[in-house]
Amino acid sequence: MMNPLLASMDVLIDYAAIKPEHIAPAIEQLLSAARAAVTAAADPALAATWDDIITPLDDASEPLWRAWSVVSHLNSVVDTPELRDVYNAMLAQITEFSTWVGLHVGLYTQYQRLHLSDEFKNWSPARKRVIELALRDFKLSGVELQGEARTRYAEISDQQSQVSQKFSENVLDATDAWSLVIEDSKRLDGVPEDVIASLKDADAERWTLNLKMPCYLPVMQYALDRELRQALYKAYATRASEQGAKEFDNSALVEQTLALRAEEAKLLGFAHFADLRLQTRMANSDLEVTDFLRQLAQRAKPFAERDLIELKAYAKTELGLSDLEPWDIAFASECLREARYAYSDDDVKQYFTEPRVLSGLFAVVQTLFNVELKTCEVNGWHPDVRAASVHNAKGETLGYLLIDLYARPGKRGGAWVDSERNRRKYQTTDQGNALAHPTEERNPLEQHTDDRHPLEQHTEVRHPLEQHTEVQTPVVYLTCNFARPQGERPALLTHDDVITLFHETGHALHALLSEVDEPGASAFAAVEWDAIELPSQFMENFCWEWSVLERLTSHVDTQEPLPRELYDRMTAARNFQSGMQTVRQVEFSLFDMLIHNRSQGLSIAEVLTQLDQVRDEIAVIRPPSWHRFPHSFSHLFAGGYGAGYYSYKWAEVLSADAFAAFEEAAARAANDAHIAGQTLEGTGALDANTGERFKREVLAVGGVRPAADSFKAFRGRAPQIDALLRHSGMSDTETPAAA
């Protein structure tokens, strides 16, 4: 039987058929082919053309990276000892290959030749962008290093990949290893019934609690038992640290990571790791980032202080908690919110059944972007997996979305999107050369103007009888960790879950609605990291639109939609404790930047001291001294966000300003209807014309141009922070006293 990881690029992977023993043979075979392609492409005798150098590289590298993406995904969602062992063995080979390519002087020279060639000026913007970014990345990959520095750089790359993987494994293992058996049901008083049911042992009157979000969060929000909340809080806060099992302690790995990153930056001629990372970001320097964060903190902290004063007063008066501890915060906050706005998260959750939310989400995407998502069958990696194909107005398939929503053992926590394969356009011929690119022909008198859309600036002339265009469609993973269905009832999502689902869908659409023909200029490959959150955070805003929530909601028992009066209470509470939430994110972001703008690594004690110093400056809530937040901060030490966590707040400025364009369109439509004496059937911010512009100028172009240019093309100007402050209830017209 054929190895499923070696399937042709034009067919969908049979995930259910993949076994650990398939991985090493497939990856080794594909690595060999890719290595041979690099060697061939580096031949200086080749003509400096796209077809002679880049096309063969893409043909060989795409199957490799598709297979490795599949293996990496499986390692994150169905981790087993067998899979982990072979993944780690292959990770070393993958890292060695990537480092070898980045240090390949011969290949670097070929890209330089392409950039200087006569052909370059006639290429599409996507192809130009691929070459320009590759030249930048070669330099950042150490290609100009010599001698011992070159050797050491390769060693650092290998060590960093191994340390990152081990950090992630320790967090997963420490999370999965902890449990607490409850035999007295009264200890669970206050916890929603569906959560209690999900924790009950099948054959006994006992309940097993864990640190997965579907258990941890509702216990922290609702459990009346303070000692129970404290137990879970401490277990969660000390995961993968010296306070737990020694084999899961990430202390040394944090130190190794920071030391290796600092050494890498020094080898490449940068002052520190943050300086290195910011070469590929919108932000120009660590000072620009820290100034941005501190200005945001300065604006938010008075609101955060007000939030905490109110919470402490309520907790003391109404809950008898004169000494509000960190494990009381979520509980007291939920009680205050219920008292102030007369609803609970659990009340709202009854209206968000998973089938209704998904169908409503698909409808929103169709309205905004004129594409249809249709459920389809796939052989997934777990029975939880479902899929949807994406189609344009002509019925053409644009891509596939593979959805895995539920938490389970062996699955990494959190929510994320990744891609199995990218969109790619290629030419087929009657001779069956499926990936042959013909030479581009251009009218020498053709003029290009800067005001043309980057995806329309190039026309290729080909003989219609010899060649035709084929499009490889993207395949995208959307992964969450929601509570699974109980019994015959559908899964129920909190409103925060719904926001998370919309957020991740925004990421997915960035790949699925791409019109970029070259994988090297795709969104996930080329968009600056501090702009990659724009589509995802943008989509979150629609979760607060009445016209959207009408489509998303159906009570699990009565099938009634969300009542308007409950929606009104939700929107009134939208900015509840937004000050505290904002300074928390700024705290994480500033901590990240300050541990990475050093010329050398830090000890774990110094890391914790730096965190304390940031909290002195930014925070309004101080965790206990035994809290070990960095030890499980996978975004920084295993998820690619090192010196980049600020991206969430940076991109939130972009996303809020982008959504303001939809609000403005809705306001214009309402005003026009009022002038005409008509009653407008409200679609709120679901404006299809503005959605089409957002798709065209942001989603479709991926990384063909800098993100700042794409934003300006959509908005007509540079981004402004006003919309973010307004959406967060912290605009200039509001003060903490009046808010």
Name the residue ranges covered by the structural domains of the chain.
4-144
Among the listed residues 524, 641, 638, the one whose alpha carbon sits nearest the alpha carbon of residue 160: 638
pTM score: 0.92
Which of the residues are catalytic? Answer: 504
Q: Which pLDDT score, from 0 to 100, does residue 442 have? A: 33
Q: Which pLDDT score, from 0 to 100, does residue 447 have? A: 34
Q: Which pLDDT score, from 0 to 100, does residue 679 have? A: 62
CA angle 678, 682, 686 (to 5 degrees): 135
Q: Which pLDDT score, from 0 to 100, does residue 465 have? A: 52
- Mean pLDDT by runs of 10 across the 739 residues of the chain is 93 96 98 98 98 97 98 98 97 97 98 97 97 98 97 97 98 97 97 95 94 97 98 98 96 98 98 98 97 96 97 98 97 97 96 98 98 96 97 97 97 97 81 35 35 56 60 97 94 97 98 97 96 97 96 96 97 96 98 98 98 98 97 96 97 97 92 74 85 98 97 97 92 58
Q: Which pLDDT score, from 0 to 100, does residue 684 have? A: 84
The domain defined by 4-144 folds into Glutathione S-transferase Yfyf (Class Pi); Chain A, domain 2 (1.20.1050)
Q: Which pLDDT score, from 0 to 100, does residue 680 have? A: 58
The widest CA-to-CA distance across the chain, in whole angstroms, is 83
Among the listed residues 520, 446, 513, 449, the one whose alpha carbon sits nearest the alpha carbon of residue 127: 520
Distance separating alpha carbons of residues 30 and 36, to the nearest angstrom: 10
- Region at 598 (left for phi over 0; alpha for psi -120 to 50; beta for the rest): beta
Q: Which pLDDT score, from 0 to 100, does residue 217 have? A: 97
**Single-letter code of the amino acid located at 524:** F
Task: Give DSSP secondary structure letters for 316-339.
Answer: HHHS--SS--HHHHHHHHHHHHHH
Give the long-range contacts of residues 295-300, CB within 8 A, separation 24 or more. 296/582, 296/586, 296/649, 297/582, 297/583, 297/586, 297/590, 297/617, 297/618, 299/725, 299/730, 300/578, 300/579, 300/582, 300/583, 300/586, 300/728, 300/730
Query: Could you give the count of Cα atoms lying within 13 Å of 167 in the half-sphere of its Cβ?
Result: 26
Among the listed residues 258, 360, 366, the one whose alpha carbon sits nearest the alpha carbon of residue 636: 258
